[in-house]
A and B are shown apart, each in its own frame.
Chain A
Amino acid sequence: MYAQFFGNYLLSRGIVTKDQLIRAMQEKSSAHIKIGTLAIHAGYMTANEVDRVIILQTHQDKRFGELAISEGYLTEQQVTELLRAQTPDFLLLGQFLVDDGIFTIDEFQNIIIDYQSESEIDDFSYSDETIDQIDHMIENFFVLTERALSSNEVSFIKLLINNLIRFIGDDYTPVSPSPCREYPTTFCVSQQLIGSFSVRTYIDMPEDACIEFASRYVGEPFYEFDEYVRASLNDFLNLHNGIFSVNMSNECSIELELAPPVTETDELLTFEKETYLLPIVYPFGMIHFIFEVINI
Chain B
Amino acid sequence: MQKDVKILVGDDSILARKQLKDIITTRCDINPIFFEASNGQEAVDLYKKESPDLVFLDIVMPVKDGNAAVREIMEYDSNAKIIIASSVGTQSQLKAAIEAGAKDFIQKPLNAEQVCRIFTSRIEGR
Could you say which residues of chain B place their CB within 8 Å of the CB of A258? 60, 88
Q: Which residue of B60, B89, B99 is within 8 Å of A246 (Cβ)?
A: B89
Decide yes or no whether B51 CB sits under 8 A from chain A: no
Could you say which residues of chain B place their CB within 8 Å of the CB of A234? 12-13, 15
The contact string, 1 if C-beta is below 8 Å from chain A, for chain B 77-97, is 000000000111111101100
Q: How many pairs of residues, A versus B, come closer than 8 Å at their CB atoms?
A: 89
Decide yes or no whether A238 CB sits under 8 A from chain B: yes
- Say whether chain A's binding surface is mostly helix, strand, loop, or mixed: helix
Task: Determine whether the beta carbon of B90 is less than 8 Å from that of A231.
Answer: no
Interface magnitude class on chain B: 20 to 34
Q: Which residue of B19, B95, B109 is within 8 Å of A25 (Cβ)?
A: B95
CB-nearest residue of chain A to B98 = A18
CB-nearest residue of chain B to A256 = B90
Interface residues of B in 43-81 (CB under 8 A from A): 60-62
Could you say which residues of chain A place their CB within 8 Å of the CB of B14? 227-228, 231
Task: Determine whether the beta carbon of A235 is less than 8 Å from that of B16.
Answer: yes
Task: Determine whether the beta carbon of B91 is less than 8 Å from that of A25.
Answer: yes
A216 to B84, CA, bound (A): 25
Task: Determine whether the beta carbon of A260 is less than 8 Å from that of B91.
Answer: no
Decide yes or no whether A245 CB sits under 8 A from chain B: yes
Task: Determine whether the beta carbon of B104 is less than 8 Å from that of A231.
Answer: no
- Using a CB–CB cutoff of 8 Å, the interface residues on chain A facing chain B are 3-5, 7-8, 11-12, 18, 21-22, 25, 167, 214, 218, 227-228, 231-232, 234-235, 238-239, 241-243, 245-246, 248-250, 253, 255-260
- Using a CB–CB cutoff of 8 Å, the interface residues on chain B facing chain A are 12-16, 18-19, 60-62, 86-92, 94-95, 98-99, 104-109, 114
